[in-house]
Amino acid sequence: MSGLSEQFREVGIGIPELYLPSEDVDRQAWAVVACDQYSSERDYWEKVSKFVGDKPSTFNLIYPECYLEDGNKSERIAGIQATMRDYLAKGCLKSIGEGFIIVERFTPYETKPRVGLMVALDLERYDYSKGSTSLIRPTEGTIVERLPPRMAIRRGAALELPHIMVLLDDPEKTVIEPLYAKRSFFPKAYDFDLMASSGHVRGWFVQSEQYLAPVAAALARLADPSRFKAMYGKDNVLLYAVGDGNHSLATAKAIWEEAKASLKGKPDEEYLLANHPARFALVELVNIYDEGLPFHPIHRVLFNVDERTFFAEAAKAGAVIRRLPDADAAIKACDDPGNKAHVIAFTNQDGAGTLSFDKPVLPLAAGSIQAFLDLFLKKYPATTIDYIHGEGSLKVLGQKPGNLGLYLPPVDKGSFFSTVIRNGTMPRKTFSMGEAPEKRFYIEARKIAL
């Protein structure tokens, strides 16, 4: 498959050797949701812990962000790394060979499945710095201060387990969909219900060059510079836009840069630079035009905030504050597609309403509110913030004493690529691909250490 591997290298992809839990492992206990979900809802993760018990589970291989402020960070990271080695040694995880997995995910909220393709992206083709023009690009600003704990895990890890989802701009559905249509020809990799009523997932393993070669050819067509220039008027092709897991991919890149530095001067340096497993990161590719892929805004919740101070500062920043009967009315006003202003709904224990930036200077509502919040949080450091997926969680958290929930308007996924290409990265935490239960669950793994 060397010729095919080179074709994929040209479009920034490696063909990964994939590991899955062995047949005797309870798949429902094995797969848990992305670590950055339910970050202010510790009880969710406590329920996961009880559900898993002492069964092999990816819960023991990841670091849920709700625990990041606990005082046992070093011990927890060491435990994660030791469990990875233990699962490999005991055969809980086994290689299924080199290839891709077609992923079909049914969620509680969408009538059609989301379809993806597990591949390994070449980190040499990825740059997360501001103003990046690389083939693989972030879609939101990367906060480098968030990387160290993630890097500490990956630096000593035997495995990576991905919750990263990367978007393709493929309106004619030429890359993933033809493979999905042929899924009955491929061996089933997994098929099970996900925990916590989060839907169902199926996967099919694709190894044959007969079926993989058209994927490489379709990606090459999408990456053709003349096509890209005609569509966007730009020269530097953006083929892969990071949708979910931006900081996880940035972590993989940072660790690869460390690995590269350690390889300098070695007799086999050239070979290792080309083939070291840390050069790649396992991700799920999804077509932005996939009918099962929703785009939702990411909301904000402020904790320990004084309402009068907040609204006074918002008014100084140019926001018009309107009171409405309840949270549902405020959200409806925020979601109005006719809004020319940037409208954000708010809810707390005393009521609800909207903040309206009638003369915005930034292209997106998320930018308007985040620019204000950055200044507010700096001025009032006793107030803290969390980023929330889902209207229900926002309402519950926003209406607790001392909290304020901020609901953001919908994001148009049809203009997503053009926005990133023309304006650069979006404000952080602008959009989410689905509600929390729809996020990617950890299932597959790949070795990243020699």
CATH number for the domain spanning 386: value is 3.30.1760
What confidence score (pLDDT) does residue 1 get? 61
Domain ranges, residue 374:
296-410
Helices (H), 353-440: 365-379, 391-398, 416-423
> Has residue 185 got a pLDDT over 90?
yes
Domain count across the chain = 2
Answer yes or no: do 95 and 238 share one domain.
yes
Q: Are residues 291 and 321 in the same domain?
A: no
Residue 18 lies inside a defined structural domain of this protein? yes
Residues 218 and 333 in one domain: no
183 and 282 in a common domain: yes
Shared-domain flag, residues 172 and 101: yes
CA angle at residue 366 from 116 to 292, to 5 degrees?
Answer: 20
Q: Where are the beta strands (DSSP E) in 113-187?
A: 114-122, 136-138, 159-160, 165-168
pLDDT digits (tens, 9 = 90+) for 388-429: 878 888 999 999 999 999 999 988 887 889 888 988 888 878
Neighbours of 428 (CB within 10 A): 20
Across residues 170-176, what is the average pLDDT?
97
Distance between CA 115 and CA 131 in Å, rounded? 30
Whether 267 is in a domain gets the answer yes
Residue 90 lies in a domain: yes
193 and 96 co-located in one domain: yes
The rounded distance, in Å, linking the Cα atoms of 278 and 282 is 10
Rounded to the nearest 5°, which phi and psi values hold at 202?
Answer: -130, 150
* Rounded Cα gap, residues 290 and 288, in angstroms: 6
Q: Is residue 117 part of a domain?
A: yes
Longest Cα–Cα distance of the chain, Å, equals: 71
Per-residue pLDDT, 317: 95
Give the pLDDT confidence score for residue 333 in this predicted structure.
96
Asked if the structure places residue 133 within a domain, the reply is yes
pLDDT bin (cut points 50, 70, 90) of residue 374 is very high
- Ramachandran class of 246: left when φ > 0, alpha when ψ lies in -120 to 50, beta otherwise: alpha
Q: Are residues 306 and 261 in the same domain?
A: no
pLDDT of amino acid 411: 80
Measured CA to CA in angstroms, residue 264 lies from 37, 261, 272, 353, 450 at distances of 38, 6, 10, 58, 16
What are the pLDDT digits (tens) for 198-222? 999 999 999 999 999 999 999 999 9
Does any domain span residue 123?
yes
Angstrom distance (rounded) from CA 99 to CA 124: 20
Residues 198, 306, single domain; the answer is: no
Same domain, 346 and 375: yes
